[in-house]
Structure formats: C-alpha cells, structure tokens
Amino acid sequence: MNLRTLAGVVALVFAPCALCAADPIPNAINQLGMDLLRESSRRDPRGSANALLSPYSITSALALVYVGADGTTRDEMQRVLRFPGDDVVVLAGLTQLTHDFAALQESSRRSVEAERQRGEDPNDPITLTVANRLFAQEGFDLRPEFVTTLRDKLSAPLVELDFRRASEPARATINGWIAETTHDRIRDLIPGGAITADTRIDLANALYLQAPWAEPFQDGATRNEKFWVRGTTAVDVATMSLRASLQGEKRADHVALALRYAGGDLQFVILLPDARDGLARLESAVTPAMLAECVRLPWQDVMVQMPKFKLEPPPLALGMHLRALGMRSAFDQPPRSANFDRMAPRRPDDYLGISEVFHKSWLSLDESGTEAAAATVEVLVTFGGVSRPKPPPLEIHVDRPFLFAIQHVPSGTCLFLGRVVDPR
C-alpha cells in the first residue's frame, strides 16, 4: 500500500574560526516558518518557485544552538525564533511536542493492531519520529551543563568523532545517521568540503513521518484538469477528486481546507486564494493565528479537486534569510560578535560562530497521501435542533497556486510548510 512519508533533517556543524499565542512554542515554530517562506519569496518577487520547508525541524535544530548562545547572540536568536524569555518554557514546549509525537505514533500502532485483531484490513500505522544528535570533536571542551541539557531535555546525546584527522569519515558517519533516520529519503545532506579539520561540532535534528489519509482519494476519479501555473498559464495536470465530510470554509479572499490523516491528529492544510494571482497577497497576510485556526475549521460536506504533485526544491541556504531576519551575530557579523559561551568557553581569538544553514526537502502527494523527506537544516558553526434541508457541498477546486501546511492538530504546530505554483 502506498503510504505517506515525511522526513525532516537538521544538521548543525561547528568549526573553529579565528579572529505568542497561548502555546508559545507552536506559535514560534509557525511564525519562523512563515518568516522564512516570505524571505524566500522576497528574493523571488514573482513567486515563481515552489517551496517546501519544515518549520518544526528548523526550530528544533536552532534550539540546540540557542541553548549554548549568550549575550547579544542569544538575544538576537530569541527574537528571530520568537522564543519566550524563560528557558524553562522553551525546553518544556519542545519536550512536550516530542512526547506528543511519540504518543501519536504509539496510539496509531495500538489502533491498527486492534483493527487487525478484529479481522479488519487497516492501513499501516503512522510513523512519526524525532531524533537529535550532538556530534563533537573528541576531547573538545564542551561545557558539561550544555551537554547535559541537550541530552536530558532535548534528547540529543553526545557522539564523539575525529573531525581533525578524519573529517571525511566523520561526514560520512553523520550523513549515514541522517539517511538511516529518514529511511534513506535524505542522503549526502552535508556536502563534500563542508566538514574540515577545523570542524568541532555538528548538531542534527531529524524528523520522519509516514501516514495515510483518513479519507483517501479514489484512484479511478483522477483525471486531467486545468491548473493555472503561476496564476497565468493553464496546463493539464492529474487532478484527484473527493467528496466527504471535511473541515473547510470560505473566507474573505481565500478558502481554507484541512484533510486529516488517519487518526485525526495530523492534517494537510490548503490555503487557496480566490484570485489566480492572489498567492503573494495571501502569503504576506498569513499569521500564526490563522494557521492555529485551521485546526478548528468547521466540518461540512465538501467536494474537493486537487492536483497530484511532487516537490523537490534545490537545497536552500538559510543563513542569508536568518541574517535578514536579525540573527546576525550568531554568524559572527560583525566579526568577533558570535557568542556561544554557554556551549564552549569563548576566548578572544578562539570562539564559535555559525557559518551556514542548509535545507533540503522533497514531497510527493497522491491519492493515498503524502510522501516526503526534508533534510531541513545544516548549520556550519565556526570558531570565530430543527430539521433543515441539507446544504449543497462546499466545492473547492485547487486549480491555482496555493499555500499548504502539514500540521499537528492538538498543538497547531506546522511540521511542513510550503507553496505550490506548478504541480508538474
């Protein structure tokens, strides 16, 4: 059976350089996702490119760095990540999400097993796992409290490697862990030359999700329909159809629709502008509150047509986007400003600073659901009552550029976020 798969990876590499809302963490995750999506649009003003990223995985990875930041570097990271000032709240919020995802996976496993014992033929259970690692140079002078916090609070155990004398084997080890954690969806995330003899630390977060639709589209109902690529050119694309009780509503200038995955705790959200060329305006207006509201859309009879699509955007260097959002000193701009003293002792000519953040992702959506992988981040850090007639169904034809999110319903957290301007 063709199931849905999502995977996200974050890898943060450290090397030496010389000279919200009621629930603040989901709100912060979603806001960072929209900030980065808009930054990518700002550099492509026509909105001509598909986009895909994992706000959850990016935030989780940067949180591992944030724990070790101090001074101005910490203040800037806090503002960009939208974290509350209380570290206890930050760590508790991220830990809670990890526990929620583990509970979701276990609940799905038990539900599927119960169905099988009743002689039914269920889908495979949902797989939703999160993994963190702290890869560090053998004998590097990490502060014990930093190592303990990552291990005990953020489930990021320490793995020692020899970057100095065996940088390429170390890169292969980290890439191997990423590939294994994402079921081989993301391979060779860290490119050749990115880890050198100067590398001291690599922080990694990996996210993997596999889940079937609660209401799968019917294979026989798929046919070619028009889609307005970039809002200007009509092309034929394979378009799926479904009529079911779904969550959706017509808003002032767009339609919001949520398609649940099996079990109901995950959903695929579509924000479809009314105008063919309305994606840029809608994207600029989306807020974390709007995303949070998508978990409470009203249930109604819906007839939906939407394209099958695959996304594999090129690797995205997030460093310039994060600097544009205000995270400058973490990248040692201006020189000598990076301060990760809570990670390792900071000396005037021997200190840590981020050199780059990389993101890579892949997604495929069809009648049975969504299969995707995201090598989310690699951060190189260097030293330095009354009966009434039944209303007609709400008809939603997704035939123009749209925004989407894959969302954890209980918390509102967006695991993945993106835009589709060309589903081919």
The H or E element that residue 13 is part of is strand 4-14
Under 8 Å between Cβ of 389 and 70:
no
Beta bridge partners of 204: 11, 133
In this structure, are 90 and 233 located in the same domain? no
CA 202, chain centre distance (Å): 19
CA 100, chain centre distance (Å): 16
Over the stretch 56-85, which tens digit does the pLDDT of each residue have?
999 999 999 999 999 999 999 999 999 999
Over the stretch 219-237, which tens digit does the pLDDT of each residue have?
889 999 999 999 999 999 9
In this structure, are 118 and 250 located in the same domain? no
Give percent of the chain with pLDDT exceeding 70.
89
pTM: 0.89
Over the stretch 292-326, which tens digit does the pLDDT of each residue have?
999 999 999 999 999 999 888 777 788 899 999 99
Structure tokens at 57: 């995985």
User: What whole-number distance in Å separates Cα of residue 99 and Cα of residue 142?
Assistant: 27
User: What whole-number distance in Å separates Cα of residue 137 and Cα of residue 284?
Assistant: 42
Instruction: Give me the CATH number covering residue 142.
Output: 3.30.497.10
Under 8 Å between Cβ of 329 and 72:
yes
In this structure, are 85 and 17 located in the same domain? yes
CA 228, chain centre distance (Å): 27
Instruction: Give me the CATH number covering residue 260.
Output: 2.30.39.10
* Of 275 and 372, more confident: 275
Structure tokens at 26: 């989901």
Residue 188 has pLDDT above 90, yes or no: no
In this structure, are 10 and 108 located in the same domain? yes
> Cα dihedral angle (70, 76, 77, 82), rounded to 10 degrees?
130
Which of 151-155, 225-229, 261-265, 348-352 is predicted with the least confidence, judged by mean pLDDT?
348-352
User: Predicted confidence band at 363 (pLDDT cuts at 50, 70, 90)?
Assistant: confident
Length, in residues, of the chain? 424
Over the stretch 111-128, which tens digit does the pLDDT of each residue have?
989 989 898 877 888 888
CB atoms within 10 A of CB 284: 11
In this structure, are 242 and 322 located in the same domain? no
In this structure, are 98 and 13 located in the same domain? yes
Q: Rounded mean pLDDT of the chain?
A: 86
- One-letter amino acid at 18 equals A
Task: Describe the chain by its helix, strand, coil percentages, rounded to 5.
Answer: 30, 35, 35
Which of 184-198, 369-383, 410-424 is predicted with the least confidence, judged by mean pLDDT?
369-383
In which region does residue 96 sit, left (phi positive, over 0), alpha (psi from -120 to 50) or beta (all else)? alpha
User: Under DSSP, is residue 290 helix (H, G, I), strand (E, B) or coil?
Assistant: helix
In this structure, are 371 and 244 located in the same domain? no
Overall average pLDDT of the 170-191 stretch: 87
Give which of 22, 172, 153 is closest to 84, Cα–Cα: 22
What is the span of the domain harbouring residue 296? Answer: 219-307+389-420
Q: How many domains does the chain have?
A: 2
Task: Give the DSSP letter string of 205-249.
Answer: EEEEEEEBBSSPPPGGG-EEEEEEETTTEEEEEEEEEEEEEEEEE
Under 8 Å between Cβ of 243 and 371:
no
In this structure, are 286 and 373 located in the same domain? no
In this structure, are 206 and 345 located in the same domain? yes
User: Predicted confidence band at 49 (pLDDT cuts at 50, 70, 90)?
Assistant: confident
In this structure, are 302 and 393 located in the same domain? yes
In this structure, are 108 and 42 located in the same domain? yes
In this structure, are 266 and 186 located in the same domain? no
User: What whole-number distance in Å separates Cα of residue 228 and Cα of residue 176?
Assistant: 40
Under 8 Å between Cβ of 20 and 28:
yes
Q: What are phi and psi of 326, to 5 degrees?
A: 120, 5
- Give the pLDDT of residue 184: 84
User: What whole-number distance in Å separates Cα of residue 361 and Cα of residue 311?
Assistant: 8
